[in-house]
Amino acid sequence: MDALLAALADPARWRLVNLLAERPRPVGVLAQLAEARQPQTTKHLQTLERAGVVTSQRTGQRRIYALKPGPLRDLAAALSRIADTAEQAGGPHTTYDRYKRDLNTERLAAQEPGWADDRSFTFHRSLTGRPEVVWPHLTEADLLAHWWTPEDLRVSELVFEARPGGRIVQEYRDVEDTDGSDQVVGRAEGVVDDVCPGERLAYRLSPLLPDGRPAFTAHVDMRLGPADSGSGLDVRWRITDSTIDSADFVAGIEIGFGQSLDKLAAALAADPHDTDSTDTRSMK
């Protein structure tokens, strides 16, 4: 496949392929139609033959070349599969396109400091497991690290002190940057405001701009309660102190935190522990 792609990448060879698609032709005729010298045309045809897309045979003093459609059909099928993957409904490219639209909207709105103040976002998730089982996933750093970023990111540093006045640090990188060799994608710092084990968690968190300034302050209020299927989690984000440079961050809140909550729901559903029994970890 690589040799075929390399062969077809040259405009002169692509022209010869199109001419041979019409009918088999000798080298001299191909050179004339392509408005090229015959030695150059011969070299291009030999490259295409080595790539498996044309075949030739000698007839008297002439060498006739013909197109082999099979490799082109295989290439077309491969390209179609790639396109289908990219167009998969609800897949990463759909999320990317949605974020791009939101980003353009927010950048147009960010004209002066405070532009996004009091903007709010609400989320709800039905979770497997009773509140005492879910609670550690909201407050313990080792469990938070499994879900507290969108799908394409991973936590590289995490501090979460689940007590009023406790410190929060969240640093994240691209999920495929496994050795930490690439730059940090983002960092956020904050403080815990209120903790009612198994019921309520409130904190403030500020994503940092590249120069270290807060982009905005997110006031996050999580309410957890029992439900028929296990637990219900309601989350409200409210923005204050928004800077003009915070548009990129604001545009990603709904998609990004929504993906994080989906990861939390999946982690709880896959938890091998008995979700109907009380978790043995204390709710600090």
Q: Would you state the CATH architecture of domain 2-82?
A: Orthogonal Bundle (1.10)
- Res 259 pLDDT > 80: yes
Lowest mean pLDDT among 138-147, 265-274, 275-284: 275-284
pLDDT in tens, 42-62: 999 999 999 999 999 998 888
On whether the CB atoms of residues 272 and 124 are closer than 8 A, the answer is no
Partners of residue 224 on adjacent β-strands: 233
* Confidence category of residue 275, pLDDT binned at 50, 70, 90: very low
Helices (H) and strands (E) in the chain — how many of each?
A: 10, 10
Confidence class for position 89, pLDDT limits 50, 70, 90: low
Alpha carbons 218 and 260: distance in angstroms, whole number: 16
Handedness of CA 92, 173, 192, 276 (dihedral sign): positive
* Share above pLDDT 90 across residues of the chain, in percent, rounded to a whole number: 79
pLDDT of the residue at 90: 67
C-alpha 26, offset from chain centre: 50
Q: 113-269 — its CATH code?
A: 3.30.530.20
What is residue 136's predicted lDDT score, i.e. its pLDDT?
A: 97
Beta strand extents in the chain (DSSP E only): 25-26, 54-59, 62-67, 120-128, 153-160, 167-174, 186-196, 200-207, 217-227, 230-240
**Domain residue ranges in the chain:** 2-82, 113-269
pTM metric for this prediction: 0.71
Which residues lie below 8 Å from residue 4, measured CB to CB, with a gap of 6+? 51, 52, 53, 71, 75
For 111-123, write each residue's pLDDT tens digit: 999 999 999 999 9
207-242 pLDDT, tens digit per residue, is 999 999 999 999 999 999 999 889 999 999 999 999
Percent of the chain with pLDDT over 70: 94
